[in-house]
């Protein structure tokens, strides 16, 4: 019996890198984020790695980084559904919010706390608002 050839675990993730980074940087451009803010949302990769990703839209993204981008895509999509005007959706992330999850902070401030759980919480909040 012939042994199965194992594919590298990173192969499927590598295929997602370009589309994930393009989507991420398109969203952060709309939200007018700084490079430092973008780095926090991506899990604080090294500066040279980050700028290489931004320049080449290529590289090896970890599962953690892909998960972070996935949450941000979900947040962006939920905002597009909730707000009829794209500018309203984009501005929402910076607006102070009195919901208990935010305690007067903006969603962006919550997301910039740096933990994946913060991104998850914002996405879950928006999904609940959508119904």
Residue pLDDT tens, the chain, 131 long? 444 444 345 445 667 889 999 999 999 999 999 999 999 999 999 999 999 999 998 888 999 999 999 999 999 999 999 998 999 999 999 999 999 999 999 999 999 998 999 999 999 999 999 88
User: Domain range holding 32?
Assistant: 14-130
> Residue 117: inside a domain, yes or no?
yes
Domain presence at residue 4: no
Instruction: Report the residue count for the chain.
Output: 131
Number of domains observed in the structure of the chain = 1
- How far apart are alpha carbons 95 and 118 in whole angstroms? 17
| Chain position carrying tokens 């984009």 | 90
Q: Give a yes or no: residue 1 inside a domain.
A: no
Nearest to 108 by CA among 89, 81, 86, 131: 89
Does some domain include residue 49? Answer: yes
Domain-embedded: residue 93: yes
Q: Is residue 82 part of a domain?
A: yes
Q: Is residue 9 part of a domain?
A: no
**96 φ, ψ (degrees, to nearest 5):** -60, 145
Q: Do the Cβ atoms of 93 and 107 come closer than 8 Å?
A: yes
**Phi, psi angles (nearest 5°) of residue 85:** -105, 125
Helix (H) or strand (E) holding 27: helix 11-30
């Amino acid at each position: 019996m012939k042994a199965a050839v194992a594919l590298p675990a990173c192969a499927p993730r590598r295929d997602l890198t370009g589309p994930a980074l393009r989507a991420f940087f398109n969203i952060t451009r709309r939200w007018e984020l700084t490079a430092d803010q973008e780095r926090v949302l991506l899990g604080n990769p090294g500066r040279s790695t980050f700028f290489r990703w931004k320049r080449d839209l290529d590289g090896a993204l970890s599962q953690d980084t892909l998960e972070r981008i996935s949450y941000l895509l979900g947040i962006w999509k939920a905002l597009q559904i909730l707000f009829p005007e794209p500018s309203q959706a984009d501005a929402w992330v910076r607006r102070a919010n009195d919901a208990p999850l935010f305690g007067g902070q903006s969603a962006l401030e919550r997301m910039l706390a740096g933990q994946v759980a913060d991104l998850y919480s914002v996405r879950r909040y928006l999904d609940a608002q959508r119904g």
